[in-house]
Structure 1
């Protein structure tokens, strides 16, 4: 009868390292006392905030609708229908601009509160601020265009 070989003097690492081109990279490895195991915390890649992107899109939409307010207001001021159409588009532009402002504020709060160890880190604070600025600009341009339209329509 043969005797089995003795166990190896050292154990292989408890957690094999990830492949060099792997998607998951360990941020920290904590050994569990009394065992050969460890707890691996993976690095979480940052994600661009969807709220910030939505804020920017809504802000740009508000600016585009405010241009329609000006175009329809000037074109329809002599016909008498410019004030009505401009008013409807002004309401749309102000609502979309307000939504852009709200989304931008919520996105910036989300980004500021993210990034703790083991949590998703959001980026895009600049996108959120751009959405806030575009929303304010769109609503402001629409209101000024409506005022110009009403002045033109009342003077004609």
Structure 2
């Protein structure tokens, strides 16, 4: 038993660009799904449609990495102070403090650079169907932590060298 071509049901009536009120066979999206239909465009002259999915925003991994590197820079800069002051009398404080200061400066400078790149990526995301990144505040924290760690390490190393030379 076959249907005649003239007896087929017509596609749901909807203006182009507007989703039909009820598409048979398609369940409504659940509220906790990450990928939910945002828009359904019906292909003219067919019973098919194109679905544009809504993508949940993603926290930028670059911003999080920059913040972690900035915090590590602050922690390493405290080692500059600790080893620098402990080794002042024996003469090795400046050398060990300088080694840790170099590590802290590299971490802090890298954190600032990556955080600036992450802020630009976050600002430009979400256009033309791209994934939208969040984490502007995390990137800003990476800039502040990296700059603070860099500054603390340099100032502490200068203090240790000044105290060791006297």
Q: Same fold (TM over 0.5)?
A: yes
What's the counterpart of residue 126 of structure 1? 137
Distance 2:85 2:125 in 1: 47
Match runs of 1:21-100 below 5 Å: 21=31, 22-100=33-111
Distance 2:143 2:25 in 1: 46
1:135 paired with 2:146, answer: yes
Call closer, same or farther: CA 1:131–1:113 in 2, change over 3 Å.
same
Question: Residue 25 of structure 1: SS of its match in structure 2?
Answer: strand
Distance 2:65 2:2 in 1: 67
Call closer, same or farther: CA 1:20–1:8 in 2, change over 3 Å.
farther
Distance 1:112 1:51 in 2: 13
Distance 2:2 2:155 in 1: 91
Number of residue pairs matched?
153
Distance 1:40 1:15 in 2: 14
1:110 paired with 2:101, answer: no
**1:43-95 C-alpha deviation (Å, 9 max, x unpaired):** 01100000000000000000000000000111111110000001111100000
State the 1:10 CA deviation: 5.0
Question: Residue 43 of structure 1: SS of its match in structure 2?
Answer: strand
Tell me the TM-score normalized by structure 2.
0.84
What's the counterpart of residue 20 of structure 2? none
Contact 2:84 2:94 in 1 (8 A): yes
Tell me the TM-score normalized by structure 1.
0.89
Contact 2:29 2:37 in 1 (8 A): no
- Unpaired runs of 5+ residues, structure 2, are 13-22
Aligned-residue CA RMSD (Å): 2.1
- Unpaired runs of 5+ residues, structure 1, are none
Distance 1:5 1:103 in 2: 63
